[in-house]
Amino acid sequence: MKSHIGPHFVKGMYHGIPIALGYLSVSFGFGILAFNSGLSVFEAAMISVTNLTSAGQAAGVAIIAAGGMLTEMILTQFIINIRYALMSLSLSQKLDGSFTTAHRLFASFGITDEIFAVASAQPGKITPPYMYGMIFVAWVGWTTGTIIGAAAGELLPASVTNAMGIVLYGMFLAIIIPPSRRERSVLLVVVIAAAVSIVFKYLITVVSGGFAVIISAITASAAAALIFPIKEEEEE
């Protein structure tokens, strides 16, 4: 196995380059968002160094800027990032025998939508070095983009940083629009979540932003589950 560590790690890095390039632009927007929310370049960088979740980080920065409670932060991150646990369970079927518990714990840090998709598409089993190579390059791209974005926020005029801050939200729209066009259930979740969020924004203003996100997500998900339940496959 040792003789394969180098090639597998390099292969993972190679497959991680397109992910890193994509993260570079998106995290640039997160860096500007963090700066506009009152965080320093160092604080924004530390968030990306220790996290690899765009939606979770954006929601977390919003809660920090609003002076939210720790319980809000925990619940929001749990709801937004729970999909990574499901991805990890699915990906566990492709791990080879060298994936010990320690390797699984380390690799879980870098399970994102894009890394999961690339790793799942690989033929055969995947090794720890392969995952580490891909995660490392993606992490470098995400962290670098954040630092550049936050630093640009200090140098560029407010009008420019405010305009460039929509990059992150543009990514969210790119994620939800295609599946919304294909699946009515996804469209329903998006519409309900947006509607509930608007209600909390302009009508029920006593609820903090963090809990508004939590309630919007739970309400939309529950409604979609009731209206569009997943039918169990009939036994042959």
Convert the pLDDT of each residue in 31-43 to its tens digit. 988 988 899 999 9
R_g of the chain, CA atoms, integer Å: 19
127 phi-psi bin (left φ>0, alpha ψ -120 to 50, beta other): beta
The pLDDT assigned to 3 comes to 47
The pLDDT assigned to 190 comes to 86
Confidence band of 183 (pLDDT split at 50, 70, 90) = confident
- In the block, tokens 């420019």 appear at 160
Dihedrals φ, ψ of 123, to 5°? -75, 140
Which burial class, exposed, middle or buried, applies to 114 when counting CB atoms under 10 A from its CB (0-12, 13-18, 19+)?
A: middle
Work out the average pLDDT over 59-82: 86
The pLDDT assigned to 127 comes to 92
**Number of Cβ atoms within 10 Å of the Cβ of 52:** 21
Q: Does 97 have pLDDT greater than 60? A: yes
The pLDDT assigned to 167 comes to 64
Find out whether 134 and 13 touch, Cβ atoms under 8 Å.
yes
Q: Hey, what amino acid is at 99?
A: F
Dihedrals φ, ψ of 182, to 5°? -90, -35
Point out the least confidently predicted range of 8-17, 49-58, 65-74, 158-167.
158-167
Work out the average pLDDT over 169-183: 75
Q: Hey, what amino acid is at 40?
A: S
Six token digits for residue 70: 């720790």
The pLDDT assigned to 147 comes to 95
The pLDDT assigned to 230 comes to 61
DSSP letter for each residue of the chain: -HHHHHHHHHHHHHHHHHHHHHHHHHHHHHHHHHHHTT--HHHHHHHHHH---HHHHHHHHHHHHTT--HHHHHHHHHHHHHHHHHHHHHHGGGB-TT--HHHHHHHHTT--HHHHHHHHTSSS-B-HHHHHHHHHHHHHHHHHHHHHHHHHHHHS-HHHHHHHTTHHHHHHHHHHHHHHHH-HHHHHHHHHHHHHHHHHHHT-TTS-HHHHHHHHHHHHHHHHHHHSPPPPPPP-
pTM recorded for the entire structure: 0.73
Work out the average pLDDT over 144-170: 77
* C-alpha dihedral (108, 222, 182, 184), degrees to nearest 10: 180
- Across 1-10, 118-127, 204-213, 216-225, the highest mean pLDDT is recorded for 118-127
Work out the average pLDDT over 5-31: 89
Mutual orientation of helices 2-36 and 113-120 as an angle, nearest 10°?
160
Mean pLDDT of the chain: 84
- Across 62-66, 140-144, 192-196, the highest mean pLDDT is recorded for 140-144
